[in-house]
Structure 1
Amino acid sequence: MTTPSTHAFWSLGDGRGEIRQAELDCTGELMIRTCYTAISRGSESLVFNGGVPPSEYQRMRAPFQSGEFPGPVKYGYSNVGVVEQGAHDWHGRYVYCLYPHQTHYCVPAEAVIPLPANVAPHRAVLGANMETALNALWDAAPGVGDRISVVGAGVVGALVAWLCGRIPGTTVQLIDIDARKPPLGEALGVDFRTPEDAAAEQDLVIHASASDAGLATALRIAGFEATVLELSWYGSRPVSVPLGEAFHANRLTLRSSQVGSVSPGHRPRWDHKRRLTLALSLLSDDALDVLISGESHFRDLPATFERLTREDDATLCERIRYS
Structure 2
Amino acid sequence: MQARAFWTIAAGRGEIRAEALPAPAPGEIRLTTIASGISRGTEALVFEGRVPESQFQAMRAPLMAGAFPFPVKYGYSAVAQAENGARFFVLHPHQDAFNAPQTHAIPVPDAVPSARAVLAANMETALNLLWDAAPLPGMRVLVIGAGVLGLLAGALVARIPATTVTLCDLDPARATPAAALGCRFALPEAAPGDQDLVFHTSASAAGLAHALRAAGDEAAIIEASWYGDAAPAVPLGEDFHARRLRIIGSQVGRVAPVMRARRTPRARLALALDLLGDPVFDILLEPPTKFVDLPAAMPRLLEGGLCHVIDYGA
TM-score norm. by structure 2 comes to: 0.97
Give the counterpart letter for 2:56 in structure 1: Y
8 Å CA contact retained: 1:26, 1:107: no
Distance 1:175 1:22 in 2: 44
Moved more, 111-120 or 50-59: 111-120
Per the TM alignment, residue 246 of structure 1 is displaced from its structure 2 partner at its CA by 2.7
Per the TM alignment, residue 189 of structure 1 is displaced from its structure 2 partner at its CA by 1.0
2:228 maps to 1:235:
yes
8 Å CA contact retained: 1:7, 1:20: yes
Match of 1:10 among 7, 10, 15: 7
Q: Secondary structure at the match of 2:293?
A: helix
Correspondence list, 1:192-207, <5 A:
192-207=185-200
Match of 1:128 among 117, 121, 130: 121
Per the TM alignment, residue 255 of structure 1 is displaced from its structure 2 partner at its CA by 1.1
Aligned alpha-carbon RMSD (Å): 1.1
Per the TM alignment, residue 302 of structure 1 is displaced from its structure 2 partner at its CA by 1.3
The number of residues matched between the two structures is: 311
8 Å CA contact retained: 1:7, 1:22: yes
Q: Secondary structure at the match of 1:293?
A: coil
Match of 2:49 in 1: 50
Match of 1:37 in 2: 36
Q: Identity rate of aligned residues, in percent?
A: 51
Match of 1:292 in 2: 285
Can you list the C-alpha shifts for 1:60-84, whole angstroms capped at 9, x where unaligned?
Answer: 0011111010010011100001102
Can you list the C-alpha shifts for 1:112-165, whole angstroms capped at 9, x where unaligned?
Answer: 011112111110000000000000000011011111110000000000000000
8 Å CA contact retained: 1:177, 1:195: yes
Q: Secondary structure at the match of 2:297?
A: helix
8 Å CA contact retained: 1:13, 1:47: no
Moved more, 294-303 or 216-225: 294-303
Q: Secondary structure at the match of 1:266?
A: helix
2:311 maps to 1:318:
no
Match of 1:87 in 2: none
Per the TM alignment, residue 252 of structure 1 is displaced from its structure 2 partner at its CA by 0.4
Match of 2:95 in 1: 102
Match of 1:20 among 17, 21, 25: 17
Per the TM alignment, residue 15 of structure 1 is displaced from its structure 2 partner at its CA by 1.1
Distance 2:309 2:176 in 1: 20
Match of 1:217 in 2: 210
Q: Which runs of 5+ in 2 are unaligned?
A: none
Give the counterpart letter for 2:125 in structure 1: T
Q: Secondary structure at the match of 1:122?
A: helix
Match of 1:302 in 2: 295
Distance 2:297 2:241 in 1: 44
Correspondence list, 1:166-181, <5 A:
166-181=159-174
8 Å CA contact retained: 1:45, 1:305: no
2:241 maps to 1:248:
yes
Structure 1 runs (4+) greater than 6 angstroms displaced: none
Distance 1:10 1:66 in 2: 9
Q: Which runs of 5+ in 1 are unaligned?
A: 85-90
Can you list the C-alpha shifts for 1:156-202, whole angstroms capped at 9, x where unaligned?
Answer: 00000000000111010011011222111111110011111111100
Distance 1:93 1:191 in 2: 38
Per the TM alignment, residue 37 of structure 1 is displaced from its structure 2 partner at its CA by 0.2
Can you list the C-alpha shifts for 1:278-318, whole angstroms capped at 9, x where unaligned?
Answer: 111100111101111242010111122211343xxx31110
TM-score norm. by structure 1 comes to: 0.94
2:114 maps to 1:115:
no
Distance 2:193 2:85 in 1: 51
Give the counterpart letter for 1:133 in structure 2: A
Distance 1:246 1:149 in 2: 20
Can you list the C-alpha shifts for 1:230-273, whole angstroms capped at 9, x where unaligned?
Answer: 00000011101111233222110011000001101111111110
Distance 1:118 1:210 in 2: 33
Give the counterpart letter for 1:16 in structure 2: R
Can you list the C-alpha shifts for 1:37-64, whole angstroms capped at 9, x where unaligned?
Answer: 0011111111111100001000000111
Give the counterpart letter for 2:166 in structure 1: Q
Per the TM alignment, residue 22 of structure 1 is displaced from its structure 2 partner at its CA by 1.6
Distance 1:286 1:174 in 2: 20
Distance 1:233 1:243 in 2: 19
Distance 1:146 1:23 in 2: 53
Match of 1:77 in 2: 76
Match of 1:88 in 2: none
Distance 1:201 1:224 in 2: 7
Give the counterpart letter for 1:316 in structure 2: L
Per the TM alignment, residue 26 of structure 1 is displaced from its structure 2 partner at its CA by 2.5
